[in-house]
């Protein structure tokens, strides 16, 4: 049995073929494959073994054994850090290989894929620093001179890492090095359509000296592999990135052993442009916010809230810039937008554009699939801007996850804050203004885990990211992201002779 994802096309180039990565070894590929056709060309580029119940149970058992009996949780933070640094170096040495896999499988421009590899290596390096600095607390005077208390920080156990298709390597790197840096062992379940770099990381961790069982990967559908991973009593925590809808299912499945869950879910972020902003900076930022990674990004600035007094001028300039964007083949160094990940998702995006037309909103540019020439055989969509979008509409409220910008005009600061908060999500928002009082007022008033001022989709490994409301809970990156994979244990010690409590 074979599952086809993409557009089949005959090719003489042999695809990459993978088994599962379990207990330090790649298994033999099964006869039941998930075939991945590149969204940019329709060429078969990878075949993934469709994971079985036995596969995921073996992976969980390997991780459980490596945590309960293996050396990894008991190594010093320095030793774990050295391994993470070796992995980061190997990632940089293999940058072109990893970037090509990401570009082919996701459809993203290769220059962005290279940036993903560099960013992922940086996350391993930062997590190494966290591993070296991992510590607890000592309390010596809390209840008198004869009382000492230790608050130990320990690894949380076996962590299930569930990642989506839009940033396969980068989102894995927001979890994996923090988990194993803290001393956890892991089972990764990547998206079925973009599993290549997650599997390739098994080889790099092996070469870096990470013991067998610390990192395991099982590919396959969420209904089998994902369900068993989230339900298993041998898994202590789940770190999930994906849609809000699936996130709710993960929470439900995790109830069996009350495992901890960290959820980074959907978003409907706003780019809020005031009339005192640097308009050229804001135009560039709005474009980056929605068209980076072809709009397939959970923190995409998919809503443009622009002040009425500058809206027409701003949109004229924005449309002119957007029409000059280069949509191209993912492996073309000059491409600025790539292909949509698969046909089903393309259909979903175009459905939202149709809804906008039916609602009477204005399509200022784009809105159609690109065909002919380099676009034949692939899934390409013109970058799109929809004006006059009303707050009650689906286009305003729902996550489209593509290169589609919904524009709504606002009167004043209070109106902008109201519109920004008028969705169920709370992942990120951006504010463009040169008025520091206004910037701080809006930043503190919009309900989201991240707020950018005069920038967007920016950050560093030291800074935690995550959402509130329907965008989830928990944090990735930074000290908070490291702490997600740890647990605290309080040890209380009395010295000297005990004073009797009972008189008899």
pLDDT at 201: 98
Residue 85 near residue 71 (C-beta atoms within 8 A):
no
Q: How confident is the model at residue 10 (pLDDT cuts 50, 70, 90)?
A: very low
Average pLDDT for residues 438-449, to the nearest whole number?
Answer: 98
| Neighbour order of strands in the sheet with 137-139 | 137-139, 147-155, 486-494
Residue 198 near residue 324 (C-beta atoms within 8 A):
no
Q: Which residues are catalytic?
A: 264, 298
Q: Please tell me the CATH superfamily of domain 270-453, with its number.
A: Aldehyde Dehydrogenase; Chain A, domain 2 (3.40.309.10)
Q: How confident is the model at residue 99 (pLDDT cuts 50, 70, 90)?
A: very high
pLDDT at 141: 81
What are the tokens at 75? Answer: 């190594």
Average pLDDT for residues 404-429, to the nearest whole number?
Answer: 98
- pLDDT of residue 227 exceeding 90: yes
pLDDT at 7: 47
Q: How confident is the model at residue 503 (pLDDT cuts 50, 70, 90)?
A: confident
- pLDDT of residue 43 exceeding 80: yes
* Residues 500, 379: Cα–Cα separation, whole Å: 78
* Residues 397, 359: Cα–Cα separation, whole Å: 14
- pLDDT of residue 97 exceeding 80: yes
- Tens-digit pLDDT profile for residues 349-360: 999 999 999 999
Q: Please tell me the CATH superfamily of domain 2-265+467-489, with its number.
A: Aldehyde Dehydrogenase; Chain A, domain 1 (3.40.605.10)
pLDDT at 31: 77
Q: Where are the domains of the chain?
A: 2-265+467-489, 270-453
- Tens-digit pLDDT profile for residues 297-334: 999 999 999 999 999 999 999 999 999 999 999 999 99
Using alpha carbons, list the distances in angstroms from residue 262 to 472, 480, 489: 8, 11, 20
Residue 212 near residue 44 (C-beta atoms within 8 A):
no
pLDDT at 9: 45
DSSP E strands in 266-390: the ranges are 270-273, 303-307, 362-365, 369-370, 380-381, 384-387
Q: How confident is the model at residue 4 (pLDDT cuts 50, 70, 90)?
A: very low
Residue 21 near residue 216 (C-beta atoms within 8 A):
yes
* Residues 457, 459: Cα–Cα separation, whole Å: 7
* Residues 383, 41: Cα–Cα separation, whole Å: 19
Across the chain, mean pLDDT equals: 95
Please, what's the b/e burial string for 72-83 (b: 16 or more CB within 10 A of its CB; e: otherwise)? bbebebeebbbb
Average pLDDT for residues 120-149, to the nearest whole number?
Answer: 94
Q: Read out DSSP for 37-67?
A: E-TTT--EEEEEE---HHHHHHHHHHHHHHH
Q: Residues 6 or more apart from 100 whose CB is under 8 A from it?
A: 110, 113, 331
First to last CA, the chain: 77
Using alpha carbons, list the distances in angstroms from residue 440 to 107, 277, 322, 445, 452: 37, 14, 30, 8, 11
Average pLDDT for residues 104-130, to the nearest whole number?
Answer: 98
């Amino acid at each position: 049995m074979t599952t086809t994802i993409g557009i089949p096309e005959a090719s003489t180039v042999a695809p990459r073929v993978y088994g599962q990565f379990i207990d330090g070894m790649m298994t033999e590929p099964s006869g039941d494959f998930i075939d991945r056709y590149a969204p940019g060309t329709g060429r078969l580029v990878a075949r993934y073994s469709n994971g079985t119940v036995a596969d995921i149970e073996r992976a969980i058992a390997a991780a459980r054994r490596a945590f309960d009996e293996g050396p990894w949780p008991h190594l010093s933070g320095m030793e774990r850090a050295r391994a993470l640094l070796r992995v980061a170096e190997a990632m940089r040495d293999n940058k072109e290989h990893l970037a090509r896999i990401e570009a082919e499988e996701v459809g993203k421009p290769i220059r962005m894929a290279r940036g993903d590899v560099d960013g992922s290596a940086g996350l391993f390096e930062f997590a190494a620093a966290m591993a070296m600095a991992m510590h607890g607390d000592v309390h010596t005077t809390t209840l008198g001179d004869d009382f000492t208390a230790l608050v130990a920080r320990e690894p949380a156990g076996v962590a299930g890492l569930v990642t989506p298709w839009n940033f396969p390597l980068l989102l894995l790197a927001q979890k994996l090095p923090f988990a194993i840096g803290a001393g956890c062992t892991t089972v990764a379940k990547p998206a079925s359509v973009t599993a290549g770099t997650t599997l390739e990381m098994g080889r790099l961790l092996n070469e870096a000296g990470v013991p067998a069982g610390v990192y395991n990967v099982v590919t396959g559908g969420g209904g089998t592999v994902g369900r068993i991973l989230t339900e298993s009593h041998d898994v202590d925590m789940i770190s999930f990135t994906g849609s809000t809808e699936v996130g709710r299912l993960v929470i439900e499945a995790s109830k069996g052993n009350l495992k901890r869950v960290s959820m980074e879910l959907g978003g409907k972020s706003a780019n809020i442009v005031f009339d005192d902003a640097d308009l050229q900076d804001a135009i560039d930022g709005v474009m980056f916010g929605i068209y980076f990674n072809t709009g397939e990004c959970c923190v995409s600035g998919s809503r443009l809230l622009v002040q009425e007094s500058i809206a027409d001028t701003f949109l004229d300039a924005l449309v002119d810039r957007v029409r000059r964007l280069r949509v191209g083949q993912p492996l073309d160094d000059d491409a600025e937008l790539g292909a949509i990940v698969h046909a089903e998702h393309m259909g979903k995006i175009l459905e939202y554009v149709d809804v906008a037309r039916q609602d009477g909103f204005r399509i200022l540019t784009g809105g159609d699939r690109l065909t002919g020439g380099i676009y034949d055989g692939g899934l390409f969509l013109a970058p799109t801007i929809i004006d006059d979008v009303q707050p009650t509409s689906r286009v305003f409220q729902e996550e489209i996850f593509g290169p589609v910008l919904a524009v709504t005009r606002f009167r004043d600061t209070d109106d902008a804050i109201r519109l920004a908060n008028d969705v169920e999500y709370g992942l990120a928002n951006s504010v463009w203004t040169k008025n520091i009082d206004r910037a701080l007022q809006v930043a503190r008033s919009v309900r989201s885990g991240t707020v950018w001022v005069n920038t967007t989709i920016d950050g560093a490994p030291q800074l935690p990211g995550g959402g509130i409301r329907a965008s989830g809970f928990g944090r990735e990156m930074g000290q908070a992201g490291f702490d997600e994979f740890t647990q605290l244990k309080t040890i209380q010690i009395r010295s000297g002779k005990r004073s009797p409590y009972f008189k008899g």
